[in-house]
Chains A and B, each alone.
Chain A
Amino acid sequence: MNDDKLEKLLKEADCSADAPVAVSVSLSDLRRRAGRRRVALVAMPTVAAVVIAACIFSLMPGKPKADVEQDRIAAIEDRIKQLQASTDATLNLIREVLADEREQRRLDRLEAELASIPDPVEEIQKQVDKTAFILLYQADRLYRELNQTESAVDAYNRLIELFPNNRWARVARQRLDEIQKAKPQKTSFEGDTLWKPQNS
């Protein structure tokens, strides 16, 4: 089997596979994802520390019986306080994240509404620029490829007349200057006079 055939088979197999489902990624999604990751990074070590502390506490050697009950009660109270504190902290964090998400969703909606309104001035500007460039290209072609200098001059002038402030009009003016400079050289070129006697 040659490599081309293998390559063709691979490409056909790829084409016949299901295309990936439409992916919707937005900056707000990414920010939410990063936030969730941060929460996980904070919450998991906290929980692990509490569990380890509880294990260590439960494995500690016993004290004389008289103090055991009071110590145990105090330790349990401490643990309850610690757990309450960590739970409160986690709940606050979750509330903050939820509030952030609500805010982000609201912002997303507003951004989507804003994005759905195209900027007409920008669109028109683009079209004008495109048209001016095409006119310049046509004129360049007349001048450089087809040697139709007069038509090219007309085209450049038309471009300057239609779009005087456009950047392509500046280029057209440069071209006109070039043509102006080139004209006297052509007329004084002796090649013209050399050809005439030969033709006649």
Chain B
Amino acid sequence: MLQDLTEFFCNVLGRAGSNMLVMAEIVDDRLLVERFNRGDEAAFETIIRRHSADVAVLANRLLGWPGDVEDVTQEVFLAALLGLKKFRGECSLRTWLFTITLNKCRTWRYRRILRIRFFSTASGKAAFTFARSADEKAGDSDTFRRIRQVVKDLPGKYRHVVVLKYLQELPTDQISRILGISRNTLQVRLSRARGMLKQDLAELTED
């Protein structure tokens, strides 16, 4: 009986309900930050529980789907732990954590590139050969691997907008806040990123 009523209630509220839930979550986050600032460390555990999965998914995408992103995720939450007292609440906690994630991923990639350059001898980037036979299915794993590789190889500023816009599906305002750029700049970057992707993936998308 109770379950039926709850289901009915959810159906009636529909989209408005989900928006209310988002609002409630934002308010709840603010309360958690307040509690943490007053010395309640359990509040930070709650923040970790609530956002660690989202942060890990974003880091995984930004770093080119390596799978193991525990180190970066821990770095993000360590930075959040050290800097939460400075959080002014001008954006949602989720947006703030995403900004830290983006910066940590940038650093991680930069260090990795330096390490690779230092240790590797003479090896250019391995060319990704891709031959697509006529009877090959459009959605097979090679195709997707190729698409992921193309996204991974995009310059950082274009890769970030693609990941945030198309994969994270964040609203434009939130993306510009995370990246610290204006909406116009964001549109320009998106347009250029789309152009690059279309060019690189032309053989996959020819009708």
**A contact residues vs B (CB 8 Å cutoff):** 1, 3, 5-7, 9-14, 16-21, 23-27, 29-30, 33-34, 130-131, 134, 137-138
Contact = CB atoms under 8 A, between A and B. Distances in A.
A16 B141 contact: yes
B204 interface: yes
A137 B13 CA distance: 11
Contacts of A23: 52-53, 55-56, 69-70, 73-74
B59 A20 contact: yes
A21 B74 CA distance: 13
27 contacts: A1-B205, A10-B147, A10-B162, A12-B139, A13-B145, A13-B147, A13-B151, A14-B61, A14-B65, A14-B167, A16-B139, A16-B144, A17-B60, A18-B65, A19-B57, A20-B59, A20-B60, A21-B70, A25-B70, A25-B74, A26-B48, A27-B41, A27-B44, A33-B74, A34-B78, A130-B6, A138-B5
Interface in B34-71: 41, 44-45, 48, 52-53, 55-57, 59-61, 65, 67-70
A185 B40 CA distance: 53
The 3 closest A-B pairs by CB, nearest first: A13-B147, A1-B205, A20-B60
A10 B151 contact: yes
Contacts, number: 103
Interface string B89-126: 00000000000000000000000000000000000000
| B74, B139, B151, B198: residue with the most chain A Cβ atoms closer than 10 Å | B74
Interface of B: 2, 5-6, 9, 41, 44-45, 48, 52-53, 55-57, 59-61, 65, 67-70, 73-74, 77-78, 81-82, 139, 141, 143-145, 147-148, 151, 162, 166-167, 194, 197-198, 201-202, 204-207
